[in-house]
A and B are shown apart, each in its own frame.
Chain A
């Protein structure tokens, strides 16, 4: 794109060279400044800390030496990589076909599947893990008990959730929504003739999906693989609940130990995050090498109406597959949570006398903290998600369209936060935002900024994969008609991103509302949020309250989604007027 220069000192002409475009420069400047404040600063503190000694505060390389040399620290890293890889494989392996079924085919109940996937997304993983402990703990898990009642007392324990397999399973099913949402919004926007080209060559439906549709959605598939991988790497709740009992340490549980020790080894924890950064950096590098050589424009200026692929006899088997995820991630665990939340004392088991709405009454009316926390959660998440999507989309646009030198550096910066586990990031945010000149401590802005920064990578990478699918000539056409870059972005690019932006907003909003660890050092009594309250109740062993509040959190978020969903439909990129039938008769 145009490198704009003002130095047209050449005397040979009256060069009408570009003035500095004010709006564009202002926006670029604001983006760079925001990134510096939101991301570079806190991350800088994490790096700075990693080079200091916890006890003396002196400069040292010792933290890194320990990370590299101590077997005690290497084992969790290996376990984490294993967990993350398996999580990503499951998330993509289930999420991508699911996305295809929902956005491309005539499978029944597609809308319901979308909603159910969001439901799984809303669930904080530690709540999912709690649900699955109730279901599949070796002795007491209801599924195991059911099995023994069918197969006899010596039926054994078919399911053991306290295992690597169990942790992979739970991490996987709660990460599927990431890949599902990212890939389905890419598929929604894809022109159907790309698939038609393959089917006319005698390609079967399945073959077309595998060899044309999915590879065309490659930017989204790869982005969702990386996000799922990072998710597996940075989740705390699931490994803490499911792997600690079997003695398998992972990075996040090890980090929690650093904070739990006395004196806490906060600076060592900072250094311990750097290998994660390295691994994820490697993944992004591989992505760039793979995607760099290909073109993935799926929305060009030449459009055809969308069309569904007919599954014929496979419609119902497909639905069965599609129900797998909601079944395991929503129905079963929430059934368990709901039952516990409805008991007055859950250890007494299920009986009519024990049935009670007490804990809901307690959560809604009996506890003033819950009120504030619910309102805070909603307000912070809404504002943070909006800020995050706005900034992430802008950065993605700058990077994809190379609007400035060093644009890819901006992209790298926007990707860093998610790789750092929340508890370490929390310390970075603390240092970055509580000092002068920000002095945000104790204000809602602190949490909003921290949440927005933490999930910026999702907004950025989602925005990037949508933009990769929008042909640049659609924007160039507007430029050549006299629209400046800012105007083009607003009236062409943003509407074309349309539905994808809305799904991106949810992709950020939901993780924010369920985020726990980043908030840990940043909340104050006035700025408490739902998840910290739920975790406190869990910490205090109040299971009935944990379950009741989880169900409430789910209901509130679903309500919001229900309100906002029509919005996504309104902004769908591929429109048709009422004259479609007439148009069908037009020869081409």
Chain B
């Protein structure tokens, strides 16, 4: 497409002053291509010619859109996308490391612990993507050695069926009211990282008593927190706890009767991370892609798919933003132990 545009531009050289060409789409395309070709990183990446992504953050559709945008911007690099659940992707990378295979150029998963562990065994390469400067301040410079960066921002909230619920619960605490007994659906912390984060956060906020009372509400426990949407759409339950914010909004946009309610006692924020393996076969392409994540193109795609954007200058869908909501993120040195304890308590108290 860029080629055609450029040819078009040359042919119509006499009409240089035409507003459509200089200020319109074709003009930016030309400018972008010129910039890309001058980029020594792109040149190096193009020499490598390929890129393999192992990603668990974002669902298939969004990830494919990001891949396609990258291919459009950087022709000449063949992109292979392996999209599986975060933990599966991580286990796969560990298996590859153990068996001396190097396939992955860019890892993107939803668990910080993956990266601290990989960093500890020296399996990550440092890279400081210049465009990450546009990230919200709270998420900049996550690792002082620049081994990993924010790759996705994921929010956990409440979702509900608008037609069946006149006044949705507005806080995690409100879910414990009698009216929601037998009406709640949620995921399992043993299967879903987001639900595990929610359990850790809720125990920090309200202690085990919350879990006990939550258990008395007889929630239906699926595996992934995506199942909350399924249950609400099917009519099996009407309110979802520990529910996926972005995915619920996607389904709403598709025309399904569902909506989110951001709890006043904090949406739980979980960061997806990304890093480049030390033995990545295409390190330059990997760097190019990592920097691309913080481009306007990607944030536009994220916005279209109801994900929080990775740039402060790109607004979220429906005019939402992080500033409008109260949010909480689990931090600490021993999160792994806290997650394990949370799962054990959940099994004891909830079911």
Give Cα distance in the complex from A364 to B227, angstroms. 26
Contacting pair A525 B114 (CB below 8 A): no
Give Cα distance in the complex from A241 to B255, angstroms. 25
Chain B 228-254 interface 0/1 with A at a Cβ cutoff of 8 Å (1 = within): 011111111100000000010001001
Which among B85, B88, B113 is the interface contact of A262 at CB below 8 angstroms? B113
Chain A minimum-CB-distance residue to B53: A525
Chain A minimum-CB-distance residue to B339: A262
Chain B 200-235 interface 0/1 with A at a Cβ cutoff of 8 Å (1 = within): 000000000000000000001111101101111111
Which among B99, B221, B340 is the interface contact of A261 at CB below 8 angstroms? B340
Whether A244 is near chain B, meaning CB under 8 Å from some CB there, is yes
Known: A244-B188, A245-B222. A345 touches B255 (CB 8 A): yes
Chain B minimum-CB-distance residue to A72: B347
Whether A25 is near chain B, meaning CB under 8 Å from some CB there, is no
Whether A295 is near chain B, meaning CB under 8 Å from some CB there, is no
Contacting pair A259 B60 (CB below 8 A): no
Contacting pair A345 B92 (CB below 8 A): no
Whether B111 is near chain A, meaning CB under 8 Å from some CB there, is yes
Q: Which residues of B contact A345 (CB under 8 A)?
A: 251, 254-256
Contacting pair A539 B85 (CB below 8 A): yes
Chain B minimum-CB-distance residue to A263: B117
Contacting pair B80 A524 (CB below 8 A): yes
Whether B77 is near chain A, meaning CB under 8 Å from some CB there, is no
Q: Which residues of A contact B88 (CB under 8 A)?
A: 259, 520-521
Known: A348-B255, A427-B95. A524 touches B234 (CB 8 A): no
Contacting pair B91 A264 (CB below 8 A): yes
Chain A 520-549 interface 0/1 with B at a Cβ cutoff of 8 Å (1 = within): 110111100000100011011111000000
Give Cα distance in the complex from A369 to B61, angstroms. 11
Contacting pair B114 A536 (CB below 8 A): no
Contacting pair B236 A525 (CB below 8 A): no
Whether B191 is near chain A, meaning CB under 8 Å from some CB there, is yes
Give Cα distance in the complex from A541 to B82, angstroms. 18
* Interface residues of A, count at CB 8 A: 50
Whether B190 is near chain A, meaning CB under 8 Å from some CB there, is yes
Least CB distance from B77 to A in Å reads: 14
Chain A 84-98 interface 0/1 with B at a Cβ cutoff of 8 Å (1 = within): 000000000000000
Contacting pair B87 A525 (CB below 8 A): no
Of listed B101, B229, B340, residue having the most chain A CB within 10 A: B101
Contacting pair B236 A140 (CB below 8 A): yes
Whether B52 is near chain A, meaning CB under 8 Å from some CB there, is yes
Contacting pair B256 A348 (CB below 8 A): yes
Give Cα distance in the complex from A266 to B230, angstroms. 30
Contacting pair A348 B81 (CB below 8 A): no
Q: Which residues of B contact A162 (CB under 8 A)?
A: 220
Contacting pair A344 B255 (CB below 8 A): yes
Contacting pair A431 B221 (CB below 8 A): no
Q: Which residues of B contact A245 (CB under 8 A)?
A: 220-222
Whether B17 is near chain A, meaning CB under 8 Å from some CB there, is no
Whether A43 is near chain B, meaning CB under 8 Å from some CB there, is no
Contacting pair B99 A264 (CB below 8 A): no
Least CB distance from B227 to A in Å reads: 8
Contacting pair B226 A139 (CB below 8 A): no
Contacting pair B82 A346 (CB below 8 A): no
Give Cα distance in the complex from A134 to B235, angstroms. 10
Whether B128 is near chain A, meaning CB under 8 Å from some CB there, is no
Which among B96, B229, B257 is the interface contact of A541 at CB below 8 angstroms? B229
Contacting pair A260 B256 (CB below 8 A): no
Contacting pair A240 B223 (CB below 8 A): yes
Whether A435 is near chain B, meaning CB under 8 Å from some CB there, is yes
Residues of B80-138 whose CB lies within 8 A of A: 80-85, 87-88, 90-92, 94-96, 98-101, 103, 111, 113-114, 117
Contacting pair A244 B223 (CB below 8 A): yes
Residues of A124-152 whose CB lies within 8 A of B: 133-134, 137-140
Known: A524-B103, A541-B229. A262 touches B114 (CB 8 A): yes
Which among B99, B191, B257, B336 is the interface contact of A263 at CB below 8 angstroms? B336
Chain B 299-341 interface 0/1 with A at a Cβ cutoff of 8 Å (1 = within): 0000000000000000000000000000000000000100110
Chain B contact residues, CB within 8 Å of chain A: 52, 59-61, 64, 80-85, 87-88, 90-92, 94-96, 98-101, 103, 111, 113-114, 117, 188, 190-191, 220-224, 226-227, 229-237, 247, 251, 254-258, 336, 339-340, 351
17 A–B pairs (Cβ distance < 8 Å), ordered by A: A140-B236, A241-B223, A244-B191, A245-B221, A262-B114, A344-B255, A346-B233, A347-B232, A369-B64, A431-B99, A434-B96, A441-B96, A520-B84, A520-B88, A525-B82, A526-B80, A540-B60
Question: Beyond A257-B191, A346-B256: 19 further Cβ-contacts under 8 Å?
Answer: A259-B87, A260-B87, A261-B340, A262-B114, A262-B117, A262-B336, A344-B255, A346-B233, A347-B257, A435-B99, A525-B52, A536-B83, A539-B85, A539-B226, A540-B59, A540-B247, A541-B224, A542-B60, A542-B61
The 5 closest A-B pairs by CB, nearest first: A347-B256, A347-B233, A540-B59, A247-B351, A525-B80
